[in-house]
Structure 1
Amino acid sequence: MQTTAETTARRALVLGATGGIGGAVAQALALHGWQVRALVRDPGKARTMPGIEWIQGDAMVRAEVVEAAADTHAIVHAVNPPGYRNWEKLVLPMIDNTIAAARAAGGARIVLPGTIYNFDPAATPLIDERSAQRPRTRKGRIRVTLENRLLAASADAPVLIVRAGDFFGPDCRNSWFGQAMVKPGVPVRRIVNPGKGTGHGWAYLPDLAETIVCLLAMEDRLRPFERVQFEGIWDAGGTMMADAIRRVTHQPDLPEAAFPWWLMRLLAPFGGFPREVIEIEEYWRHPVRLDNTRLLALLDEEPRTPLDTAIAATLAGLGCLPSTRLRTPRLREAAA
């Protein structure tokens, strides 16, 4: 692991620093001594994070991304369309702007948090960097196109894709954990389980962010187009996360309900949130595990916080523990 002194002169731009993964990576970079810039549309609404320089700008405006990325060594592309709407029109122009900014900066490495939606869950139970990407959903097809554009650009703008499962963590609001399994802002009274009985992968954001920063510290060992899988927490039976919530809240008899997939299917033709959710139902019906062999070859081990500690921090951040009740955060699409 690179020391703070060794990374003092390294600079990174984070797009999407007000979101869960973007914010976690920005904080981890700052803790490791990086100079961190964060491009946001409204700096006044940005969270207070030490060591972060907030810059007003829009990821959809190429000139603003290029200017913010000047003299940087890495660009973290963790940005999504506002409200996760208009994916077809916004996602690819945003990655094109990031590629242009990386080239203008002299070859800054682009970091992309990857998803499993690039793959057919019924045909790909184990994903590694060589797995065939045959998506079955609209978002999956967009993600494949996005990664192909990064591959084409990697000769002069190197790329690091770190693929992970569903996010959870203290500052992760737009997630299956924070929008479906528990209700933010109030103590846990029941658990809604989207995939009981089916294996599912989870990524604790502080561990994932630490992994990304540690990988960036070994630039000389990374391929120009590096794609690794972060295994995270593998819930083989779809019950591990719920059991941990019961332990952390000291409620062994906490009731558990199934996610209303039937209602989402009924409402999906009308668009909006149900349509987005139903697109990824199959990823809760089929176990899809991430093979971290390449990651371990680089890092020796994944950062791994004990599950109960991670769940406790997440519930506290969501205001779901009695001593940490918070104003209920905005609930938006968990299907990002």
Structure 2
Amino acid sequence: MTKETGRALVIGATGGIGSEVARALLAGGWQVRALHRDPERARASNPDIDWQAGDAMDEATVVRSAADVSVIVHAVNPPGYRNWAGLVLPMLDSTIAAATATGARILLPGTVYNYGPDAGDAIDEDAPQNPVTRKGAIRVEMERRLRHASSRGAKALVVRAGDFYGPRTGNSWLPQGMVPMKGPLKRVFNPARPGVGHGWAYLPDLAETMVRLIEREGDLAAFDSFHFEGSWVDDNAVFAQAIREAAGRPEAPIYRFPWPLVHAAAPFNETAREMRELIYIWQRPLRLVDAELRAFLGDVPATPLDQALRTTLQGLGRARLDPDGRAVS
């Protein structure tokens, strides 16, 4: 077993998972380059990154920027769920072209959207991928293209995880759905049916896990995939309760998420349509089993839920902490 470091290109380095992976890479001694349409503005988010002007839709720019890297982190997504069909696959094709030209490994943060009801409640890496949504079908196609690219000189690693949360979370269910109001926490919304479990992925833990995996390059297959179980709760109401405790507001009310409003807005609003399409992940448990990951790494980063939520809520401006790290109202 050999730990490897080198140069990495991060596409989507200002987003939730992209920024966390970039930080984890830098902490591990990697040199990190990133593409952004406005590199001067992006540099303020992390001055230790080598920011270069570029667009993930421009294949030539991505290929040129990846010339001397061994890893390409493909963490870019359309904001607000918009125009997935028109943007997601062309952006991935740019990354695949770069990896094929250089022999680099693509690291793709995966999701649970690949899986339909036939996959069961507890899903390992060999579960059938028969999605029931457009977004899920796109995710399956992304992995199919990566698998094909791995037979043509590129390499790929997919790490699938549940819903993201963390102090620098971008578009995710926690800040946008469960605690959407700006400022100190006043209320929490629970999107899940009563008694339904849900999988959450604390971004700093997930990013560290991804870096540990790519540092084991010599032990990975040309196309490899792992599941990251993260912060699984048997009932998402437990997660909602933990949010208000972490915010120092144990008395804050917990309401059911207003799904009827989402259904009503869906015909007129693309973000609402995409949210409605994902309702199934809140109606039944969909747990990622990470036995293969644990067997491969031995130790998987796991920040305690209360600590992870305190850090998340403070970063999102939903809670304040005293000098000892305790939440204050």
Q: Report the TM-score when normalising by structure 2.
A: 0.93
Q: Distance in 2 between matches of 1:249 and 1:91?
A: 35
Q: Is the 8 A contact 2:185 2:244 kept in 1?
A: no
Residue 301 of structure 2 is matched in structure 1 by 303
Post-superposition Cα deviations, 1:17-70, rounded to whole Å, max 9, x if no partner, equal 010000000110011000000111111331432431111100000000001111
Q: Is the 8 A contact 1:170 1:314 kept in 2?
A: yes
Residue 19 of structure 1 is matched in structure 2 by 15
Q: Per the alignment, do residues 191 and 122 of structure 1 end up closer, same or farther by CA in structure 2, a change over 3 Å counting?
A: farther
Residue 210 of structure 1 is matched in structure 2 by 208
Q: Which amino acid aligns with 1:62?
A: E
**1:233-272, aligned counterparts within 5 Å?**
233-272=231-270
Q: Is the 8 A contact 1:159 1:224 kept in 2?
A: yes
Partner SS for 1:22: helix
Q: Distance in 1 between matches of 2:182 and 2:272?
A: 23
Residue 139 of structure 1 is matched in structure 2 by 135
Q: Is the 8 A contact 1:121 1:283 kept in 2?
A: no
The 10-residue stretch of structure 1 (249-258 or 214-223) with the greater mean CA deviation from structure 2: 249-258
Q: Per the alignment, do residues 173 and 88 of structure 1 end up closer, same or farther by CA in structure 2, a change over 3 Å counting?
A: closer
State the Cα RMSD in Å. Answer: 1.7
Q: Is the 8 A contact 1:122 1:286 kept in 2?
A: no
Q: Distance in 1 between matches of 2:59 and 2:249?
A: 50
Post-superposition Cα deviations, 1:284-312, rounded to whole Å, max 9, x if no partner, equal 00100001011111111210011111001
Q: Distance in 1 between matches of 2:250 and 2:79?
A: 38
Q: Is the 8 A contact 2:118 2:130 kept in 1?
A: no
Q: Distance in 2 between matches of 1:262 and 1:225?
A: 41
Give aligned-pair identity as a percent: 54
Residue 271 of structure 2 is matched in structure 1 by 273
Residue 115 of structure 1 is matched in structure 2 by 111
Residue 328 of structure 1 is matched in structure 2 by none
Gapped regions of structure 2 (runs ≥ 5): 323-329
Residue 93 of structure 1 is matched in structure 2 by 90
Q: Is the 8 A contact 1:17 1:23 kept in 2?
A: yes
Residue 2 of structure 1: how far off its partner (Å): 7.0
Q: Distance in 2 between matches of 1:274 and 1:90?
A: 18
Partner SS for 1:17: coil
Partner SS for 2:267: helix
1:228 aligned residue (226, 229, 235): 226
Residue 264 of structure 1: how far off its partner (Å): 1.2
Residue 187 of structure 1 is matched in structure 2 by 184
Partner SS for 1:185: coil
Gapped regions of structure 1 (runs ≥ 5): 325-336
Q: Distance in 2 between matches of 1:261 and 1:86?
A: 22
Q: Is the 8 A contact 2:24 2:207 kept in 1?
A: yes
Q: Distance in 2 between matches of 1:82 and 1:100?
A: 23
Q: Distance in 2 between matches of 1:44 and 1:121?
A: 45
Residue 273 of structure 1: how far off its partner (Å): 1.6
2:144 aligned residue (143, 148, 151): 148
Q: Per the alignment, do residues 41 and 240 of structure 1 end up closer, same or farther by CA in structure 2, a change over 3 Å counting?
A: same
Residue 329 of structure 1 is matched in structure 2 by none
Q: Which amino acid aligns with 1:126?
A: A
Residue 317 of structure 1 is matched in structure 2 by 315
Residue 293 of structure 1 is matched in structure 2 by 291
The 10-residue stretch of structure 1 (244-253 or 124-133) with the greater mean CA deviation from structure 2: 244-253
Aligned length: 319
Residue 124 of structure 1: how far off its partner (Å): 2.6
2:66 aligned residue (66, 69, 85): 69
Q: Per the alignment, do residues 262 and 183 of structure 1 end up closer, same or farther by CA in structure 2, a change over 3 Å counting?
A: closer
Residue 327 of structure 2 is matched in structure 1 by none
Q: Distance in 1 between matches of 2:233 and 2:267?
A: 31
Residue 251 of structure 1: how far off its partner (Å): 2.5
Does residue 104 (structure 1) correspond to residue 121 (structure 2)? The answer is no
Q: Report the TM-score when normalising by structure 1.
A: 0.91
Does residue 43 (structure 1) correspond to residue 39 (structure 2)? The answer is yes
Q: Distance in 1 between matches of 2:81 and 2:295?
A: 34
Q: Is the 8 A contact 2:75 2:109 kept in 1?
A: yes
Residue 249 of structure 1: how far off its partner (Å): 2.5
Q: Distance in 2 between matches of 1:244 and 1:149?
A: 39
Residue 184 of structure 1: how far off its partner (Å): 5.1
Q: Is the 8 A contact 2:26 2:32 kept in 1?
A: yes
